[in-house]
Amino acid sequence: MASNPGSDAALGTQNPLLSGSPRTKKFPLTEQEVFYMNCRAAYLTIFKSSLENIISKDQLYLALQHAGRNPSQKTINKYWTPQTAKLNFDDFCIILSKEKPTSKAELLKSFKKLDVNDDGAILHSDLQKYLTKRGEKMTQEEVNAVINLADI
């Protein structure tokens, strides 16, 4: 089976940026190259290939989250209209270029809201309540996994 220049197989064998060639040691990656690599990494956390299409709002939401975005329903609806049947990898990269990553300040502000005692900590019971009752609701098993990963 022949591969075209844009396929995943072609990228692995022909792209000097990904093969560890001397070019990466002599010249740092450009901002555009880093952006593309981040797009691809996020996409490949959801799909087996960058040739697969996003076929639902849920997949778009998940892919954006893996790319460091925190999309609202309004944001998702902006890119996934009633006429949208699918989005490809290039569409995803365009969306990422328009949507800014969640900043550290935004994350800290969100966690500050959960810190009801204003002591820099969130109680397990409060975290469990928020994760299972608000936003993208998590299962008890998912919450337990998050809590078990935390540095207590």
Q: Read out DSSP for the chain? A: ----TTSHHHHHHH-TTTTT-HHHHHSPPPHHHHHHHHHHHHHHTT-S-TTSPB-SHHHHHHHHHHTT----HHHHHHHS-TT---B-HHHHHHHHHHSPPPPHHHHHHHHHHH-TTSSS---HHHHHHHHHHSSSPPPHHHHHHHHHHS--
- Please check whether residue 23 lies inside any domain of the structure: no
Show the tokens assigned to 13.
């064998």
Domain that holds residue 133: 104-150
* In a shared domain, residues 87 and 115: no
Residue 11: inside a domain: no
Range 15-40 average pLDDT: 73
Q: Would 88 be classed as within a structural domain? A: yes
Q: Report pLDDT digits (tens) over 37-52.
A: 999 999 999 999 999 9
Q: Are residues 83 and 120 in the same domain?
A: no
Q: Are residues 36 and 65 in the same domain?
A: yes
What domain count does the chain have?
2
pLDDT at 68 over 50: yes
Band the pLDDT of 123: cuts 50, 70, 90.
confident
In a domain, residue 52? The reply is yes
Instruction: Tell me, yes or no, whether 86 and 54 share the same domain.
Output: yes
Question: Any idea which residue has 């290939």 for tokens?
Answer: 49
Q: Tokens 């396929």 sit at which residue? A: 7
Is residue 93 one of the residues assigned to a domain?
yes
Please check whether residue 64 lies inside any domain of the structure.
Answer: yes
Judged by average pLDDT, the poorest of 25-29, 78-82, 87-91 is 25-29
Checking if the pLDDT of 77 tops 80, the result is yes
Query: Does residue 60 form part of some domain?
Result: yes
130 contacts 143 by C-beta, under 8 angstroms: no
Please check whether residue 92 is in contact with residue 54, taking contact to mean a CB–CB distance below 8 angstroms: yes
pTM over 0.85: no
